[in-house]
Amino acid sequence: MINSEIGSILFGKWVYQENYDELRENIRKAHITRNVHEYVCSSLFYSLIAGWISLVFGYILARNLAQNSFVIFLITAIFAMSGSYAIYLILISYPSFKAKNRSYRIDQSMPHALTYLYALSRGGMNIIDMFKSLGSYIHIYSGTAEEIAMIVRDMEYFGMDIVTALHNASKRTPSRKFKDFINNLISVINSGGDLSRFFKSRSEYYQETAAQDQKYFLETLGLFGEVYVSALVAGPLFLIVIIVVLGLLRGGVELLLSLIIYVVIPVGTLLFIVLIDTISGIREEMPVIYTRVKSLEVFKDVPQLKIQQPHELGDIKRLQQYEKRSKIKFILFNPLKIFMEKPGRTFFITVPVSIIYLFFNARDISSKAVENHFLIVILFVIIPFTVFFEMRKRKIRKFEERMPDFLKRLAGMNEAGLTLTQAIAHTAESNMGVLTYEVKKIHRAIEWGTITTGALQKFEKRIESSAVSRIITLIVKASESTSDIRNVLSIAAKDADIGQRLKQERFANLLIYVVIVYLSFFVFLFIIVVLLVYFLSKMPTGGTVSMFKTSSLSDIKTLFYHASLLQGFFSGLVAGQMGEGNLRAGLKHSIVMLVIAYVVFTYFLQGVE
């Protein structure tokens, strides 16, 4: 890469003399495919660029704050060095953060992955085939499946035996739990112990410790919640008050206010969201489910006879046309369902309409109504997406809540002597709440000739839930390796029950952090209103020249309005990330806060000019 080459030319002479053992270890654990010296040279190159950019901004800021040449030089130098060092520190720390992120993902997925291995071991499958099977489901079993896939890679491509590959995985993994699991597995393999019993004990152990890990995570998140309120709500608010007071004494503070409002609040909040995402390990994303299409190529070299079959070809064309008409009819008669399936499809409508709206209102872009036009566009784009996203999320959550009961019923019927197919048929006749319709569709597909595992996989694809995917994958793969489906269903039911209970407890405890974010936003808005109504509006305003050529109360009010909108939008994202582990889930909070800020400034502060 060009940045590494330039960095090596500029700094290679000093960099290659150092070892960087700790950084090398973190790069390996983070799965970053870069040489440690290459990485350091690239980091120094980027920090050099950041230093020059910081120097320019520091000089502009210094010219607006001071007149003395030495003070201007000092502020510029501090900005340049601080910007350069900050970027270097972030880049050097990135492998460590990424390794920790992988560690959290591995720890979170280990109970489910070991349950999967235990279910496969019940059928007598050997450990290499079990690892291959688990490694092919990275989109479901996340970090643990990635580590297992690396073990399979070492055996298949590098010719290692399983014990050597496990030793390498133990050294490579960033997770202490996975390292202990691998070391214990090596001991079991060397001693010829019972793998099925080992996987069962480890699965139960990690399921029990999952509650303790969640408690530790909630305590950590509480600390980060306090950091957010102090650094990204109270901090900018304190700086705004100080700058306003300073402006009353000497004027020309719009640049400083703009830096706080347009740079510190958005950038600081986004960095905080990334940090929360790194330490949380919560992944509620829908899994990527692939459909494999096979084509028959055995006889592709055999010459084919050209025989005209007008009747059959006509039937095929009519069938294809019927399928196209059916899709169009489905879209016309079920317009909301296509958005429920993929909420992102709303952007194909809202984004073009928003662009057209801005085009026809371009004459107001230079007026004071510009922020209202953009606010309308933002709300118009995110509200439909948020509505359908929340509806789909609520529906999936109801499915996940009913899955443990569904599995327990199947396990009970299977224990009474019914096959899995018969158990599904009997369950389809009972009331399963939101699952009733889906269970009937599974039964109907089986009646029409689809194999049971195929019907379950179609159900998994329709729901697109990580929890449902784990359950269906466990049942399908385990039923392929053993006829003792009763134990597999019991294992799946227990795994689903524990996972659902932990999820409910987590979201119930995280609700307090959503309330904290709302309270911090209301405090921010209240202080802004007090500054405008009871402080600035009572003070005489002048025409002090600044970078923005004015310091009127109207312009200060506009800056405060933008500050409230930005604080509301990004606070909503923080609420979603902290409360539900999903940035998109925070859009509903952003909408509420944006509307509140708009109402306050448009109706309650209308006379403040």
- Residue 302's CB is within 10 A of a number of other CB atoms, namely 6
- Nearest C-alpha neighbor of 408 from the set 302, 292, 315, 495: 495
Place of tokens 């709206």: 357
Distance spanning both ends of the chain, measured CA to CA = 54
385 pLDDT tier (thresholds 50, 70, 90)? very high
Residue 239 token pair: 């700086």
Place of tokens 């979201």: 507
SS (H, E, C) 429-465: CCCCHHHHHHHHHHHHHHHCCCCHHHHHHHHHHHHCC
Answer yes or no: are the C-beta atoms of 268 and 231 closer than 8 Å.
yes
Least confident among 183-187, 295-299, 348-352, 517-521: 295-299
What does the pLDDT average to over 42-63?
85
The Cα 11–Cα 3 span in angstroms is 12
- Nearest C-alpha neighbor of 151 from the set 193, 122, 117, 121: 117
Element (H, E) at 208: helix 195-228
Residue 578 token pair: 């902290």
Answer yes or no: are the C-beta atoms of 225 and 275 closer than 8 Å.
no
DSSP state of 538: G
C-alpha distance from residue 69 to each of 62, 77, 80, 304 (Å): 9, 12, 16, 88
pLDDT (0 to 100) of residue 589: 94
Report pLDDT digits (tens) over 324-383: 787 777 777 777 778 888 888 899 999 999 998 888 876 665 555 677 888 899 999 999
Residue 265 token pair: 């609040």
The Cα 344–Cα 79 span in angstroms is 41
Q: State what percent of residues in the chain have pLDDT above 90.
A: 18
- Residue 321's CB is within 10 A of a number of other CB atoms, namely 10
pLDDT (0 to 100) of residue 383: 94
294 pLDDT tier (thresholds 50, 70, 90)? low
Element (H, E) at 373: helix 370-415
DSSP state of 234: I
- Residue 507's CB is within 10 A of a number of other CB atoms, namely 16
The Cα 90–Cα 268 span in angstroms is 14
The Cα 551–Cα 546 span in angstroms is 8
More confident residue, 119 or 301: 119
Question: Phi first, then psi: what are they for 283, rounded to 5°?
Answer: -135, 105
Question: Phi first, then psi: what are they for 549, rounded to 5°?
Answer: 65, 10
Is pLDDT of 264 > 90? no
Question: Phi first, then psi: what are they for 253, rounded to 5°?
Answer: -115, 10
C-alpha distance from residue 504 to each of 167, 395, 398, 498 (Å): 37, 15, 12, 10
Answer yes or no: are the C-beta atoms of 199 and 114 closer than 8 Å.
yes
Q: Is this prediction's pTM over 0.85?
A: no
65 pLDDT tier (thresholds 50, 70, 90)? low
C-alpha distance from residue 486 to each of 44, 131, 497 (Å): 59, 23, 16
pLDDT (0 to 100) of residue 402: 85
Least confident among 95-104, 218-227, 375-384: 218-227
Is pLDDT of 52 > 80? yes
pLDDT (0 to 100) of residue 547: 36
The Cα 427–Cα 443 span in angstroms is 9
Q: Assign 126 to helix, strand or coil.
A: coil
299 pLDDT tier (thresholds 50, 70, 90)? low
